[in-house]
């Protein structure tokens, strides 16, 4: 991976231009039910951007940080984090398929954890679809541990950062 080719950029779904761009990007990414289900199991296929915002972002916009990963100005990755006190919930991780297995998801998660830690987060949680073995393996390699199930479909995982 050549570091200069990839950049992280914070976006906000409350900004009209960011939303316009992300609607186009996400509609292209979630063009099949399996992909949408792995990233956002609460949404039904076909993907609806307004529902994506309403379900996951609208009521927590001021507590949510979203970053996109770009390769030569093309958005190839997405990750969000909702902060509540010392707890942060990571969600909506997606790397465009041809860019997977290059350490990019790891980079995005590390950067988001660092950002969350700077804002006071010590504990990170996430939910992952049981069938998404690649994501479960990634999260475990990054120190996340299973701690329960939120339904029959997904597993809850958490990680506590070491304090300085």
- pTM, full prediction: 0.94
Residues 4-61: pLDDT tens digits?
A: 699 999 999 999 999 999 999 999 999 999 999 999 998 999 999 999 999 999 999 9
Residues 74-127: pLDDT tens digits?
A: 999 999 999 999 999 999 999 999 999 999 999 999 999 999 999 999 999 999
- CB-CB contact of 88 with 103 (8 Å): no
Alpha helices in 10-129 (DSSP H): 16-29, 33-39, 49-56, 104-118
| Cα 23 off chain centre by | 16
Please give the tally of structural domains in the chain.
1
Q: Residue 117 belongs to what domain range?
A: 3-160
Q: What is the CATH number of the domain that holds 16?
A: 3.40.630.30
């Amino acid at each position: 991976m050549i570091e200069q080719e990839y950049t992280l950029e914070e976006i906000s779904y409350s900004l009209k231009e960011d939303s316009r761009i992300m609607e186009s990007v996400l509609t292209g990414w979630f063009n099949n039910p399996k992909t949408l289900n792995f990233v956002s199991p609460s949404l039904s296929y076909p993907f609806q951007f307004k529902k994506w915002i309403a379900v996951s972002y609208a009521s927590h916009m001021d507590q949510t940080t979203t970053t996109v990963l770009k390769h030569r100005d093309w958005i190839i990755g997405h990750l969000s984090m909702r902060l509540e006190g010392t707890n942060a919930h990571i969600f909506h991780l997606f790397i465009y398929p041809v860019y997977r297995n290059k350490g990019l998801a790891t980079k995005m998660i590390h950067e988001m954890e660092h950002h969350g830690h700077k804002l006071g987060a010590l504990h990170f949680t996430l939910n992952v679809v049981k069938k998404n073995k690649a994501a479960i393996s990634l999260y475990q390699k990054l120190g996340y541990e299973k701690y329960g199930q939120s339904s029959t479909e997904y597993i809850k995982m958490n990680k506590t950062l070491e304090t300085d």
